[in-house]
Amino acid sequence: MVFEGIVIHKVNYKERDLIVKILMRNGTMGSFYIYGGQGGGKHHKPSIFELGSMVKVQIKDQKNNRIEGNELMVASESSRLWEPHNIRHNIQAFYLVCLYFEVLQKFSMNFQIGNSDYENNEHAGIFSVISNALFHLNESLIKEQFSASQHLTLFMTKLLFHLGIMPDTDNCSYCGTDLMESVGVTFLASQGQFACTQCVNAENEKGFLLRIKKSYQTRYQDYMELTDTNFQEADKLIQYFCHQFQLRPVELKSYGLLLR
Ligand SMILES: [Zn+2]
């Protein structure tokens, strides 16, 4: 059986082996044991399992290799299809990608050989969000257009949409007023809703509303059209995501590093 996906986590094991988590094309997360996966050795083989790399992994017959109750699949052959070369040379881009991978691990379903159906594409939207995010982030570095808040805003909006937890950006959650017609609107992160400032007296966040709507409509390749983003607003999306999954933002370690 052959799997394709993006390396989102890796741990060295023994002298030369690796255990990797791969976000696969069907949107679930597979865990693989890779003999010799660290590279090196006599021939100084490079590791193909850098974070963010798109890889292809073939597994051995699991009947003989499977440890009872263990989700690890033992790779027999593997190759790299693509890697985001430029990301590891930019520290902010690197932390951003680490944040993406941490976020993905908070909700992704584990793929279990024998129990999960690889052809089930129910969660494939998640794969398309992360693969597009990596590809265009790498492109933005090549073109020297990289903006971390722009990419983070786009990623979080697309992700919330694919998770089916996108806030209602059309109507006030209290009175139903069209938010675009209201002078002031405010975001209630704990409820994942917007309200007009007639109903809730708080800071006017109309700009944030407009940028969420814009992110939702902007295709990943047109990322430069999403302008005026900032970390304060991206943070509202992170706070909201955390609230939905009962996490605290401090649990996302790369997030603190990114903002430093
Ligand atoms: Zn209202």
**DSSP-assigned letter for residue 123:** T
Answer yes or no: are the C-beta atoms of 223 and 146 closer than 8 Å.
no
The answer, yes or no, to whether residue 69 has pLDDT greater than 70, is no
pLDDT tens digits, one per residue of 228-255 = 999 999 999 999 999 999 999 999 999 9
Angstrom distance (rounded) from CA 213 to CA 216: 5
End-to-end, the C-alpha distance of the chain in Å comes to 43
Q: Give 175 Cα–ligand 1 centroid separation in angstroms.
A: 4
Q: How far away, in angstroms, is 179 Cα from ligand 1 center?
A: 8
Give 181 Cα–ligand 1 centroid separation in angstroms: 11
Asked if residues 209 and 197 have their Cβ atoms less than 8 Å apart, the reply is no
pLDDT of residue 227: 96
Q: Is the dihedral of CA 245, 247, 253, 258 positive or negative?
A: positive
| d(CA 230, ligand 1 centre) in Å | 26
Residue 112's pLDDT band, with cuts at 50, 70 and 90, is: confident
Share of the chain above pLDDT 70, in %: 97
What one-character DSSP code corresponds to residue 129? H
Rounded average pLDDT over 91-118: 94
pLDDT tier at 64, thresholds 50, 70, 90: low
> What pLDDT shows up at residue 105?
97
* Distance (Å) from CA 171 to ligand 1 centroid: 8
- Region 78-107: mean pLDDT is 96
Indicate whether 63 pLDDT > 70.
no
Mean pLDDT to the nearest integer, 40-66: 82
Question: DSSP letter string over 18-71?
Answer: EEEEEEETTS-EEEEEETTTT-BTTTTBPPS--TT-EEEEEE--HHHHPPTT--
SS3 for 95?
Answer: helix
Q: Is 118 left (phi over 0), alpha (psi -120 to 50) or beta?
A: alpha
Q: From the CA of 169, how far away is ligand 1's center (Å)?
A: 13
Which helix (H) or strand (E) element contains residue 22? strand 17-24
pLDDT over threshold 60, residue 177: yes
Q: How far is the CA of 172 from the centre of ligand 1 (A)?
A: 5
CA 178 – ligand 1 centroid, Å: 9
Give the pLDDT of residue 65: 53
Stated as kind and residue range, the H or E segment containing 254 is helix 253-259
Alpha-carbon span 40 to 93, nearest angstrom: 26
pLDDT at 241: 96
Distance from residue 240's CA to the centre of ligand 1 (Å): 20
pLDDT of residue 89: 94
Lowest mean pLDDT among 28-32, 119-123, 216-220: 119-123
| pLDDT exceeds 60 at position 66 | no
Please tell me the predicted confidence (pLDDT) of residue 125. Answer: 95
Kindly indicate the confidence band of residue 47, based on its pLDDT and cuts at 50, 70 and 90.
Answer: confident
Ligand 1 centre to CA of 161 (Å) is: 23
Report CA(165)–ligand 1 centroid distance (Å).
21
More confident residue, 14 or 259: 14
Task: Please tell me the distance between residue 195's alpha carbon and the centre of ligand 1 in angstroms.
Answer: 5
